[in-house]
Amino acid sequence: MRLRRTAAALLLAATAVLTTTPAHATPALGDRSLGGPSLGTPARHPVGTATGPDGRTSLTDSRGRRLQLRGFNLDKYAEATEADVRDVAAQGFTLIRVAVSWTRLEPTRGRLDPGELRRLDRLLGWADRYGLLALVDFHQDVYGPKFGGGDRGIPVWATRDDGLPFTPDPDDWFAGYFQPAVQAAFRHLYDDPDLRAWQADFYTRLARELRGHRSLLGYDLFNEPFGPVDGDPTDPAVLAAASAALEQGRLADMYRRLITAVRRVDTRAWLFVEPTVLVGQGVPTRLPGFDDPRPGPPRLGYAPHFYDTAVESGADWDPSGGFVERYTAAITDYPAAHRLPVLVGEWGPPDSRRPGNTELVRRQVAAMDGFAEGWTMWYWCRGTGGYCALDPAGRPAPGDEPAFGPYPAAVAGTDVRTTGGTLRWRADGSRTSSEVVLPPAAFPHGAAVTATPAGARVEVEQPAGGRAGTVRVRLPHASPGTPVTVTVTPR
Q: Are 434 and 473 in contact (CB under 8 A)?
A: yes
pLDDT at 428: 95
Instruction: Give the pairing type, strands 413-419 and 422-427.
Output: antiparallel
Residue 171: how many other CB atoms lie within 10 Å: 9
Give yes or no for a cis peptide into 398 (omega within 30° of 0).
no
Whether 364 and 254 map to the same domain: the answer is: yes
Say if 50 falls within a structural domain.
Answer: no
Q: Torsions phi, psi of 188, nearest 5?
A: -65, -40
Say if 361 falls within a structural domain.
Answer: yes
Mean pLDDT of 385-392: 95
Whether 238 and 172 map to the same domain: the answer is: yes
Say if 171 falls within a structural domain.
Answer: yes
Whether 365 and 388 map to the same domain: the answer is: yes
Query: In the listed set 371, 404, 437, which residue is the last one of a domain according to the structure?
Result: 404
Whether 362 and 446 map to the same domain: the answer is: no
Q: Could you tell me the CATH number of the domain that includes residue 385?
A: 3.20.20.80
Asked if the model's pLDDT at residue 40 lies above 70, the reply is: no
List, for residues 310-355, the tens digit of each pLDDT value.
999 999 999 999 999 999 999 999 999 999 999 999 999 999 999 9
Whether 159 and 178 map to the same domain: the answer is: yes
Structural domains counted in the chain: 2
Split at pLDDT 50, 70, 90, the class of 32 is very low
Asked if the model's pLDDT at residue 10 lies above 90, the reply is: no
Q: Are 139 and 1 in contact (CB under 8 A)?
A: no
Query: In the listed set 404, 424, 442, which residue is the last one of a domain according to the structure?
Result: 404
Mean pLDDT of 264-286: 92
Whether 139 and 241 map to the same domain: the answer is: yes
List, for residues 193-217, the tens digit of each pLDDT value.
999 999 999 999 999 999 999 999 9
Query: In the listed set 375, 404, 433, which residue is the last one of a domain according to the structure?
Result: 404
List, for residues 227-254, the tens digit of each pLDDT value.
999 888 888 788 878 888 999 999 999 9
Say if 279 falls within a structural domain.
Answer: yes
Chain mean pLDDT for the chain: 91
Range of the domain at 374: 5-27+68-404
Whether 372 and 424 map to the same domain: the answer is: no
Helical pair 193-210 and 180-191, crossing angle rounded to 10 deg: 70
Whether 350 and 377 map to the same domain: the answer is: yes
Whether 319 and 422 map to the same domain: the answer is: no
Mean pLDDT of 107-113: 96
Whether 308 and 390 map to the same domain: the answer is: yes
Among 183, 185, 269, CA closest to 221: 269
Q: Could you tell me the CATH number of the domain that includes residue 434?
A: 2.60.40
pLDDT at 11: 54
Asked if the model's pLDDT at residue 6 lies above 70, the reply is: no
pLDDT at 43: 56
Whether 282 and 328 map to the same domain: the answer is: yes
Say if 42 falls within a structural domain.
Answer: no
One-letter amino acid at 380 equals W
Whether 344 and 488 map to the same domain: the answer is: no
Split at pLDDT 50, 70, 90, the class of 4 is very low
Say if 55 falls within a structural domain.
Answer: no
